[in-house]
Amino acid sequence: MRHATAPKIPDGFHHRGRRERLLQKIHETHGGGLVLMPTAPEMFRNRDTLYPYRPESYFHYLSGFPEPEAVLALTCDSAGKTRHILFCREKNPEREIWDGFRVGPGAASEMFAFDETFPISALNEQLPALVMNQSALLTPMGLYSDWDSTITRLLGALRTQARSGHTPPACIVDVRDVLDRMRMIKDDCEIALMRHAAAISAQAHVRAMRFARPGHFEYQVEAELQHEFMMHGAQTAYPSVVASAENACVLHYVENRRKINAGDLLLMDAGCEYQNYASDITRTFPVGRRFSAAQKDIYELVLAAQRACFDALKPGAPFRAFHDTAERVLTQGMIDLKLIKGPLDTALETGSFKRFYMHRAGHWLGLDVHDAGQYRRGEHDKTPTLLEPGMVLTVEPGCYIRADDDIPAAFHNIGVRIEDDVLITKDGIDILTSAAPKNVEEVEALCTQ
């Protein structure tokens, strides 16, 4: 499999367009206002060693700026006039010798399409003038405790100046509520990046399926996934699950330490992140041989459930529909295999199927693996969100059977999940991860090469 040429990374003017759309929404809703958005802080792994840095997703969505110690400030007045401001680290030749290149306020203005840029050290001095007399302040609350303290102290100080005619914003809103809706609909640049991430991850799964053999350890298979990610300029989007035999029945198993035996099913839930956009694939396969009869029964049941989910996905369909479809197909299959008792409607009503299938059939996907966006229209409106072109979600039914005494031995420790990334289009769906084999014949051919 050859990967397509890496897509063009969105430039500063592309991100500026997102900022303008946000400010337009704020003008329509509040008559103007101020957005303050900090990026993620650096985090220590131990002593003086930092984790690899990744910008906060909402901040990245609006700015594209990759460095820590940065704050975005966007204003819109009652006439609709906007200002795009960035506070970031100054250039520092000595620190750059140790830690690498810094953009600095001067270059950031042109590179990321800001009207004004300032050193981050000027933030506290300039915040009062930015915030006072605004009709609304939109900022993420509860995201970082230090940021919450900064905003709380600032608003308290402004309230003491009321006699001088300066007032704090009357309306304080979590800006993520507005951005969630924007992030749910991916633009062409985002789709291109996600398509590329999906292609890399699909090839990684093929590589790992060819590699896995009895006697290997789960972490050795994980290394094959990681190798493919890094060879294409990507990194893991989340800790990879490489779970053999009974480990496959643990949904978030990430230890990846067990030695794999002949005939074990191996469940791999692994996806890369490319330019901050995630992919998310799960494949399950028998190591070193073909599926046993019981393994094949469960695998084909899960595959049938996923295909039924695909049929339920289309513009205008409620998000909940494909999850309900997965439950019905899987539950009927469990009844047919005598894992649970019927009839179907009774099993669904009592939830007896949840012993073997206990999670949602999918989630939004984008800058975050479990991406921004609501599954229902609102806190008081329980109506499911309707699917629209540009939305990307996962489809991941599964079945997990532990070695309990009341279960036939042939089904013991069978854990199967099949997961793909799906783009909703105006005509239906586009399965971004279809290059990762999942038909029984294709899977067995890879595993027995």
pLDDT in tens, 170-220: 899 999 999 999 999 999 999 999 999 999 999 999 999 999 999 999 999
pLDDT of residue 312: 97
Beta strand pairing call for 44-46 and 235-236: unpaired
Q: How confident is the model at residue 28 (pLDDT cuts 50, 70, 90)?
A: very high
Q: Is there a contact between 406 and 297 (Cβ–Cβ < 8 Å)? A: no
Q: How many CB atoms lie within 10 A of CB 97?
A: 8
pLDDT of residue 381: 67
Q: How confident is the model at residue 157 (pLDDT cuts 50, 70, 90)?
A: confident
pLDDT of residue 444: 94
In degrees and rounded to multiples of 5, residue 96 shows phi and psi of -70, -25
Q: Is pLDDT of 400 > 70?
A: yes
Q: Is there a contact between 414 and 265 (Cβ–Cβ < 8 Å)? A: yes
- Indicate if the alpha-carbon torsion angle 344, 346, 351, 355 is positive or negative: negative
pLDDT in tens, 104-142: 999 999 999 999 999 999 999 999 999 998 999 999 999
Residues 6 or more apart in contact with residue 313 via CB below 8 angstroms: 321, 322, 387, 395, 422, 424, 428, 429
pLDDT in tens, 289-311: 899 999 999 999 999 999 999 99
Q: Is pLDDT of 35 > 80?
A: yes
Q: Is pLDDT of 382 > 80?
A: no
Residue 386: helix, strand or coil by DSSP?
strand
Q: How many CB atoms lie within 10 A of CB 401?
A: 24
pLDDT of residue 380: 63
Give the separation between CA 421 and CA 321, rounded to whole angstroms.
17
Q: Is pLDDT of 2 > 60?
A: no
Mean pLDDT of 354-361: 97
pLDDT in tens, 245-273: 999 999 999 999 999 999 999 999 999 99
More confident residue, 64 or 380: 64
Write out the catalytic residue numbers.
Answer: 48, 252, 269, 280, 359, 363, 370, 396, 400, 417, 419
How confident is the prediction for the chain on average, in pLDDT?
95
